[in-house]
Homo-oligomer: A and B are copies of this chain.
């Protein structure tokens, strides 16, 4: 992972649940073979499967010593605290890992390699501090060049943050590859980068260069694939993150959108605020907003819905998908609980009809 294979200890202290340890859960879902243990002293002794329903063989341990006993040789910070600083309570643990010679992988906004004490500890043991949120050195301004690729560019967009945009993109890539189509995933957030071993955490890029950074990623991915699935971020309806969402959208210049929604959520989640978030509009209104906003730079169509049915019964989950499909008249599935194939098929149809449009005799 990010340079070499490691046996990871995922730090998820005090919050190893599907809702709260987004990064740890993502890594467990897609790179479980590289995870030796999860660190959460409040769940120690259980398994990852008991806590988050994934990776039955991965134990939850109380501390670094427990992770070492389970075979770990690197530490990955598996949760992103509000504000983005390294919590004081974690500093000792990170220092301990570095002194053991463990690489430390972080998606915090505060870069560990810029911390003199941590940098010195890393130098002392030869360990690496890997800050995946550090923006690229290139300062590129977007020009909508990604609209001109031959590949079908698809962006996952959401009713809110943390509803499953990365997971939907990854599952659709898998489903397309299973069908024999060539599909590439473009990571735009810390968890996606841990999974894909590349990408840019656009939320940490200086605002002027978000679109340009995504454009560069999409152009590169499109050279080797027929489908480019771009991980979306935030939501046009989130007062804190909507700018990230639009910059990412106009940089990727997608032709197709997959709308992602968590069935159990009715309000925008304003983390760290005592104020309640606004009600999430009806899916039809959300679709209209995304299609309109995309169209300011390049027309795009919502071709499918990914419903995150976390916490619902199978019956309720199926019914939530059916309601969305009825409302929007396009395929709607939970790509994790059920199957991403209907979304992959919708994108294949979209790509074929776009090709026919470009070259009617082919």
Interface residues of A (CB under 8 A from B): 82-85, 109, 135, 139, 141-145, 202-208, 210-212, 236-237, 239-248, 250-251, 253, 270-273, 275, 278, 289, 292-293, 296-297
Q: How far apart are A350's CB and chain B's nearest CB, in angstroms?
A: 22
A242 CB contact (under 8 Å) in B143, B204, B237, B250 = B250
- Asked whether A143 lies within 8 Å of B297 as measured between CB atoms, the reply is no
- Asked whether B239 lies within 8 Å of A143 as measured between CB atoms, the reply is yes
CA distance A202 to B205 in the complex (A): 12
- Asked whether A244 lies within 8 Å of B143 as measured between CB atoms, the reply is no
- Asked whether B141 lies within 8 Å of A247 as measured between CB atoms, the reply is no
- Apart from A240-B251, A243-B244, list 4 A-B contacts with CB within 8 A: A208-B241, A211-B240, A242-B297, A289-B296
Q: How far apart are A183's CB and chain B's nearest CB, in angstroms?
A: 24
**Which residue in chain B gives the minimum CB-CB distance to A270?**
B143
- Asked whether A253 lies within 8 Å of B240 as measured between CB atoms, the reply is no
Given contacts A272-B141, A289-B296, is CB(A206)–CB(B109) below 8 Å?
yes
CA distance A275 to B84 in the complex (A): 38
Contacts of A273 in B (CB 8 A): 141, 143, 145
A244 CB contact (under 8 Å) in B109, B247, B248 = B247
- Asked whether B250 lies within 8 Å of A239 as measured between CB atoms, the reply is yes
Residue pairs across A and B with Cβ atoms less than 8 A apart, 23 shown, are A84-B139, A84-B208, A109-B206, A135-B206, A141-B270, A143-B240, A144-B239, A203-B206, A204-B206, A204-B207, A204-B208, A205-B206, A207-B210, A208-B240, A211-B239, A211-B241, A211-B243, A212-B240, A239-B253, A240-B251, A242-B247, A242-B250, A243-B248
Q: How far apart are A156's CB and chain B's nearest CB, in angstroms?
A: 17
CA distance A206 to B141 in the complex (A): 15
**Which residue in chain B gives the minimum CB-CB distance to A241?**
B208
**Which residue in chain B gives the minimum CB-CB distance to A286?**
B296
**Which residue in chain B gives the minimum CB-CB distance to A273?**
B143
Contacts of A85 in B (CB 8 A): 139
Q: How far apart are A212's CB and chain B's nearest CB, in angstroms?
A: 6
Contacts of A204 in B (CB 8 A): 206-208
Contacts of A207 in B (CB 8 A): 202-207, 210, 243-244, 247
CA distance A139 to B210 in the complex (A): 18
**Which residue in chain B gives the minimum CB-CB distance to A253?**
B239
Contacts of A275 in B (CB 8 A): 143-145
CA distance A293 to B290 in the complex (A): 10
Q: How far apart are A131's CB and chain B's nearest CB, in angstroms?
A: 13
**Which residue in chain B gives the minimum CB-CB distance to A109?**
B139
**Which residue in chain B gives the minimum CB-CB distance to A236?**
B296
- Asked whether A240 lies within 8 Å of B289 as measured between CB atoms, the reply is no
CA distance A292 to B247 in the complex (A): 17
A239 CB contact (under 8 Å) in B142, B202, B243, B270 = B142
Interface centre among A144, A145, A270, A275 (most CB of B within 10 A): A144
Q: How far apart are A272's CB and chain B's nearest CB, in angstroms?
A: 7
CA distance A247 to B246 in the complex (A): 9
CA distance A141 to B268 in the complex (A): 13
Contacts of A271 in B (CB 8 A): 141
CA distance A71 to B9 in the complex (A): 63
Contacts of A142 in B (CB 8 A): 239-241
**Which residue in chain B gives the minimum CB-CB distance to A271?**
B141
A203 CB contact (under 8 Å) in B84, B208, B297 = B208
CA distance A253 to B85 in the complex (A): 27
